[in-house]
């Protein structure tokens, strides 16, 4: 029996590699709930179909509103995030199986406020292993809550660099809501991840028919469905009638830093401090005392802080050897190095990266073992002066 199954599995892979137009290959392997698994690959990914004419995509689920549930179908607030599993998400969109052979992996099932750096490290390593290193896999989709979606997207953009599409998708309405946006967003995300035209574009966010670079995208509204935008940089493309259309050929964002995640196990603590009138310097020292290895300032205007707080930054950099990145609280814009530079300390400008993305990058650079000078050099690549 085992020999017969192995023979069938080898035959299926052989057929898959030729990308013929044959009928779907059904290798009945096991049952999971009401879902029949017809093929399990070498990495343990379970597929409900194996049609050799379609690309293979893995969906990594982390929870969030897209997996949210509420007894009231009109509820768009107060629902339980992360209540629905990846299998149910896939089964709710039957059209997905006309776009790709999909496997689902439940990485976590939480609201995005509870996604941690350890989850991100695990997720990135999984994608590198089971998607990047498998020539039969076309791409990956990550389902995620929207509140911290841009941070996860930026992390994946920095740590998954095999050229295969990594698409992050979420929803602004729970799965039980009238006109829930999650199912169609998921369908479009899988369609983009399966498309050869999506290769070599880094990680992308696909929501509300828009395809946006993970490097630049941010959540611009707490409630509306058209919240994810890159205001100055624009979208990479659009999904029209479930077909991705890209406006430009693949390009790498200026200043993008690529990180090898294979040897990273822990991301050091990085704090974000929000600038305001009369901001006390003890906030900075409290972060240092509490164990922060790096600090990001969401500064006024182009990274601005008061004169006393600026002196405290220089003390922390010079005497505590802790890097401090100055970003903006405005939601959009740039912090050029010329606006924060000093002759007495190494100030670091975030360029076009907002505080939350600056925090992700700073944490990765610290995990790589870079010192303040090396960190400043990486951030400087993303500024215009």
Full DSSP string of 89-108: HHHT-GGGGGT-EEEEEEEE
Exposed e or buried b per residue across 101-128, where buried means at least 16 C-beta atoms within 10 angstroms of its C-beta: bbbbbbbbbbbbebbebebbbebbbbbb
pLDDT at 177: 85
pLDDT tens per residue, range 311-322:
999 999 999 999
Phi-psi domain of 241 (left: phi exceeds 0; alpha: psi -120 through 50; beta: other): left
- Catalytic annotation present for 65: yes
pLDDT at 26: 35
- Spatial neighbors of 9 by CB under 8 A, at least 6 apart, are 27, 39
Angle 192-196-197 (CA atoms, 0-180°, nearest 5)? 75
Per the annotation, binding residues are 112, 146-147
pLDDT at 16: 35
Residue with structure tokens 């969030």?
64
Rounded Cα–Cα distance for residues 69 and 78 (Å)? 10
- Spatial neighbors of 192 by CB under 8 A, at least 6 apart, are 139, 165, 167, 198, 204, 206, 211, 239, 244
Give the chain's domains with CATH numbers: 39-246 (3.40.50.1170), 270-382 (3.40.50.40)
Full DSSP string of 6-20: HHHHHHHHHHHHHT-
pLDDT at 33: 54
Rounded Cα–Cα distance for residues 36 and 48 (Å)? 6
pLDDT at 36: 80
Rounded Cα–Cα distance for residues 222 and 229 (Å)? 13
In the chain, DSSP finds a helix count (H) and a strand count (E) of 9, 18
pLDDT tens per residue, range 286-300:
999 999 999 999 999
pLDDT at 79: 81
pLDDT at 236: 97
Per the annotation, binding residues for substrate are 112, 146-147
- Tell me whether residue 369 is exposed, middle or buried, using C-beta atoms within 10 angstroms of its C-beta: 0 to 12, 13 to 18, 19 or more: exposed
Low-confidence ranges of the chain (pLDDT < 50): 1-32
pLDDT at 13: 37
Rounded Cα–Cα distance for residues 239 and 185 (Å)? 10
Rounded Cα–Cα distance for residues 325 and 359 (Å)? 8
Q: Which two tokens stand for residue 330?
A: 């405005």
- Exactly one of 65, 143, 176, 227 is catalytic; which is it? 65
- Write down the pTM of the prediction: 0.89
- Spatial neighbors of 299 by CB under 8 A, at least 6 apart, are 275, 305, 326, 327, 328, 329, 335, 340
pLDDT at 34: 61
- Exactly one of 76, 146, 148, 159 is catalytic; which is it? 146
């Amino acid at each position: 029996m085992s020999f017969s199954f192995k023979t069938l599995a080898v035959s299926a892979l052989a057929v898959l590699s030729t990308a013929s137009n044959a009928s779907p290959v059904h290798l009945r392997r096991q049952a999971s709930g009401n879902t029949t698994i017809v093929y399990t690959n070498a990495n343990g990914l379970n597929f409900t179909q194996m049609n050799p004419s379609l690309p293979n995509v893995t969906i990594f689920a982390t929870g969030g509103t897209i997996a949210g549930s509420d007894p009231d179908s009109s509820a768009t607030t107060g629902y339980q995030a992360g209540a629905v599993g990846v299998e149910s998400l896939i089964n709710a969109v039957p059209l997905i199986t006309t776009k790709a052979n999909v496997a689902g992996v439940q990485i976590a099932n939480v609201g995005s406020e509870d996604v941690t750096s350890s989850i991100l490290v695990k997720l990135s390593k999984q994608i590198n292993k089971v998607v990047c290193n498998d020539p039969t896999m076309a791409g990956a989709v990550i389902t995620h809550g929207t509140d911290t979606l841009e941070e996860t997207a930026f992390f994946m953009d920095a740590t998954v660099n095999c050229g295969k599409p990594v698409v992050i998708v979420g929803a602004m309405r729970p799965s039980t809501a009238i006109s829930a946006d999650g199912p169609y967003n998921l369908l479009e995300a899988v369609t983009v991840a399966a498309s050869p035209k999506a290769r070599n574009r880094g990680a992308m966010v696909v929501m509300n028919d828009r395809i946006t670079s993970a490097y630049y995208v941010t959540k611009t509204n707490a409630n509306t469905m058209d919240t994810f935008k890159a205001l100055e940089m624009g979208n990479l493309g659009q999904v029209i009638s479930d077909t991705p259309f890209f406006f430009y050929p693949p390009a790498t964002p200026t200043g993008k830093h690529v990180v090898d995640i294979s040897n990273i196990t822990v991301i050091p603590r990085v704090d974000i401090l929000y600038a305001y009138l009369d901001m006390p310097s003890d906030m900075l020292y409290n972060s240092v005392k509490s164990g922060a290895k790096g600090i990001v300032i969401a500064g006024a205007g182009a990274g601005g802080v008061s004169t006393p707080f600026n002196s405290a930054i220089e003390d922390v950099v010079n005497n505590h050897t802790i890097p401090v990145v100055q970003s903006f609280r405005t939601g959009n814009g740039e912090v050029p190095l010329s606006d924060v530079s000093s002759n007495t300390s190494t100030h670091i400008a975030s360029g076009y990266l907002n505080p939350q993305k600056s925090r992700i990058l700073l944490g990765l650079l610290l995990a790589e073992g870079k010192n303040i000078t090396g960190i400043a050099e990486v951030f400087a690549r993303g500024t215009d002066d």
